[in-house]
Structure 1
Amino acid sequence: MRKLRLVIGKLEIEAELLETPTADALYAAAPFEARAAHWGEEVYFTVPLGVEREAGARDVVQPGELAFRVEGEAVVIGYGPTPNSEDTEIRLAMPANVWGVTKTDVRQLRKVEAGDLIRVDVLES
């Protein structure tokens, strides 16, 4: 199982990669750093991957699902409602490629501030 580690301040997210072209591209790009931004209860950061929107792309995700928005080339991690959400769902700005999952409680991302450094590394088994 391929994994990535995302470190944002004191928060560490271990992500299990799915078998998708986007996951392959992120794995190949690591290690890299980016800066955090927010949109509602979503943290996102830019990663220039040049991938296409996949057939299974969707805008509603579950807590712990990690996605990549082709428009703007950004990893997006929803942890609660966004301006597009209905009720308590996690609705991203537009359909995104789901590339990984984490068991980390993503609600901890509420502590992340815009501009925080994010480091992404391959997690060796």
Structure 2
Amino acid sequence: MQIRISWPAGNITATLDAGRPTARALAEALPLASTAHTWGQEVYFDTGVSVSRETDARQVVEPGTVAFWTDGDALALPYGPTPVSRGEECRLASPCTILGSVEGDAGLLATVRDGDPIRVELIEQ
């Protein structure tokens, strides 16, 4: 399952694991509009989707991971270190359900500014 995440300065495509209950719940809520927040080298935004954390949630992830932060009903898109990282790792605020990954250069997320409008839509296959 693919989604497009757009903001004023650009957009990225991400592939989600359609077998994950959280990914299916997110897909059902699309398209959605939200407001971007930045936290170090992470972009996150509210989705309006409220689900339980899946059992294999992780806090340290690779750059470009698409994660669902259940504490904030938000998608978290890390592309580098955050304020709680140790060294260069991507450490999320708390364990998150891993939904998939960004296609291409996750560094494009650096062009997202705090307060930017964000739109997420399903890409029809």
* TM-score using structure 2 length: 0.94
**2:79 match:** 79
| Alpha-carbon distance between aligned partners in 2 of 1:56 and 1:9, rounded to the nearest angstrom | 34
Does the CA-based 8 Å contact 2:9-2:112 persist in structure 1? no
- For residues 109 and 3 of structure 2, the distance between their equivalents in structure 1, rounded to whole angstroms, comes to 17
Point out where structure 2 has 5 or more consecutive residues left out of the alignment: none
Identical aligned pairs, as a percentage? Answer: 42
Moved more, 75-84 or 101-110: 101-110
Counterpart-to-counterpart distance in 2, 1:58 and 1:32: 25
Matched, 1:106 2:106: yes
Equivalent in the alignment of 1:35? 35
How large is the Cα RMSD of the aligned pairs? 1.0
Structure 2 counterparts to residues 1-125 of structure 1, below 5 A: 2-18=1-17, 19-125=19-125
Q: Which amino acid aligns with 1:8?
A: W
Q: Once the 2 structures are TM-superposed, how far is the Cα of residue 104 of structure 1 from its aligned partner?
A: 2.6
**Number of residue pairs the alignment of both structures matches:** 124
In the TM superposition, structure 1's runs of 4+ consecutive aligned residues that sit over 6 Å from their partners are none
The 1-side partners of 2:108 and 2:32 are apart by 22
Deviations 1:71-101 (A, max 9, x none): 0111100011111111100000000011121
Counterparts of 1:82 and 1:22, CA distance in 2: 23
Which stretches in structure 1 are left out of the alignment for 5+ residues?
none
